[in-house]
Chains A and B, each alone.
Chain A
Amino acid sequence: MTKKNSSLSFYIMAGLLLVLVPISLYLVFNWVPPIKASNPTEQTAQRIFYYHVASAWNGFFAFFVVFLASIMYLWKKERKWENIAVASAEVGTLFMTIVLITGPIWAKPTWGIWWTWDARLTSSLVLWLIYVAYLFLRRYLPDGTRRANLSAVVGIIGFVDVPLVWYSIRWWETQHPSAVLAGGKKGSLAPEMLFTLLFCVGVFTILYFLLMQRRIEIAKLEDSINKQYKEWETLS
């Protein structure tokens, strides 16, 4: 990507978000009809669901990108792919953190408890832990091909594990009927709710790409500054 192109894509995405984020807020808080619930707090809390699910979707998507970029790195051995993988791991962890924060905020008024070992929350927590470990690994190693190799290996293994974790925890939940609570998340969605959900997912996906683009730009800048410094050092 040339400099001009990258700043152009940034302005387009940032512009879109400036318009779309307020619209999404309007949809979530005003347009969508409230769910049928016994108390108003629960009705309001349910509205967090749109951002919650949008974050979760992007978290998964981000980890998938880590997986693809890690494979590409091991194949091509190019810095570019390492940068994409790391950027996506960081952004994905951020989205998963949002999932883990919004989940309990919703659970408290709905179920009366902050945390429950609900399959979705638990899987999200385990996935979050996998990618936090990935980021820790990178902190413990100096920059270089070794770090890139090792993090790519973990990025690949970690993502292969994602569906297994997800599936096994869901299955585990069915083995513990007491852990399954009736909640607003289940049941079919009204058309307005579905539209709002898809809209939020779309907005968050643009946000994902914007954050990715920024993060990769930073990595590139760091590299070029350090490289120029080294060149300068050689000439002096």
Chain B
Amino acid sequence: MMEQVPAVITAEKLRKEFGRVVALRGVSFQVPASTFFTIFGRNGAGKSTLLSIISGMAAASSGVIRVFGEDPAARTQRHRLSVISHESFLYDNLTALENLEFYGKLYSVQDLKERTHHVLRQVGLHHRRFDLVRTFSRGMLQRLTIARAILHNPDLFLLDEPFTGLDQHATEMLIGLLETLKAQGKTILLTTHDLHIGLRLSDQYMILERQQVVETGSASGLTEDALREKYFSLISSGEAGQ
């Protein structure tokens, strides 16, 4: 047998239910290392719950989840993981530098001073490092959000609908940054309902519908039209697809 590359995320028959709420109904998938993996699905399909479980913020009712081979709820691999959502996670009344220094301490980043400067240069905000975040434009905010996310040099990125509320320009910028991370060999898990952006970046994809996996596949060679057709045939009619 060939030696397999160990998967960064392994989920087996994940189920999450609580009282009347069923958030996941037996979801299984694997995300190999250095893969851009996109989860498509409508609001309420179970994407956020899945990300919460992977990040260790929520527990599954049954099933097994392993991130870097460990149970994420144990918080042992937190420093290798970064979450990016449509919320910036930044403090408006701190400067860019102060924000990074604060998070750097919480992640116990080594050589924090050099690292913050390096990261700020990387996202092109070094000249604005002493400015308050509340004076930043949407695009600069986006770049600082990324700077915060890459500060502790994580191996895995969890992106929770990061394009929500972004204009065209900021979207392109975020895509550019994600492509850089991808080129660096980072593992990225993206959840989105935007087929166009999702397909553009992905190596692999999965479609969640009604808290179940309805389709998984490789994104290479797949055209957007083909994906669109597949997507709409799998998810229910009418209100879907926004």
Contacts and interface: CB of A to CB of B under 8 A. Distances in A.
B18 A230 contact: no
A57 to B, nearest CB: 31
Contact of A145 (B18, B22, B211, B212): B18
A174 interface: no
A233 B19 CA distance: 17
A192 interface: no
Interface string B40-73: 0000000000000000001100000000000000
Contacts of B58: 145
B20 A227 contact: yes
A106 B30 CA distance: 69
Contacts of B211: 234
A77 B210 contact: no
A148 B58 CA distance: 13
A161 interface: no
Contacts of A77: 59
B18 A222 contact: no
Q: Interface residue tally of chain B, by bracket?
A: 10 to 19
Interface in A193-236: 219, 222-223, 225-227, 230, 233-234
A226 B58 CA distance: 22
Nearest to B236: A236
A96 B19 CA distance: 28
A81 to B, nearest CB: 11
A42 interface: no
Given A79-B19, A230-B20, 7 more contacts: A77-B59, A143-B18, A143-B19, A144-B21, A230-B22, A234-B25, A234-B210
19 contacts: A77-B59, A79-B18, A79-B19, A82-B19, A143-B18, A143-B21, A144-B18, A145-B18, A145-B58, A148-B18, A223-B19, A223-B20, A225-B20, A226-B20, A227-B17, A227-B20, A230-B22, A234-B211, A234-B212
Interface of B: 17-22, 25, 58-59, 210-212
